[in-house]
Amino acid sequence: MSEFVTVTRVEDLGPGEIEVFDVGDEYVAIANVDGEFCAFADVCTHDDGPLVEGELEGRVVRCPRHGARFDVCTGQVLSLPAVVPLPTFEVRVVDGEVQVRLEE
C-alpha cells in the first residue's frame, strides 16, 4: 500500500491520545503529540505487546508489559528491554483528515 489512507479526523484524536487503526494488514497506532500526528506499528518490538495500551508522555510511549520505551515519531528505542526500533509510517493532515501511508 503506497497511497495515503484516511484513518481519523484531527478533532477525534486529542493531544496526548493514541488510537489504533486497522490499515491494510497492519495495526497502526496514531499518536497526537501536541498537534503533531505520528504513526507507528502497534506492537512492541521486544515481545509483540500492544503499545496503544501503554502510557504516552510527550513523544514517548512505554510498553505496558515490560516497560520498554520508544519515541513514537522516530521509532527510536529509548530503553531496554527492546533493542529494535518501531516501524513508523508517513502521516499527513489534509482538510482535517489524518492520513497514513504504509510502505509496500
In the chain, where are the structural domains located? 5-101
Residue 72 burial (CB count, 10 A): 26
Q: What is the pLDDT of residue 76?
A: 98
**103 or 80, which is more confident:** 80
64 class by beta-carbon count within 10 Å (0-12 exposed, 13-18 middle, 19+ buried): middle
**98 or 49, which is more confident:** 98
pLDDT greater than 90 at residue 104: no
What is the DSSP-derived secondary structure letter of residue 96?
Answer: T
Tell me the average pLDDT across 34-42. 96
The correct CATH number of 5-101 out of 2.102.10.10, 3.20.20.140, 3.40.50.620, 3.40.50.1980 is 2.102.10.10
68 class by beta-carbon count within 10 Å (0-12 exposed, 13-18 middle, 19+ buried): buried
pLDDT greater than 70 at residue 16: yes
Residue 95 burial (CB count, 10 A): 8
Q: What is the pLDDT of residue 1?
A: 52
Q: What is the pLDDT of residue 17?
A: 95
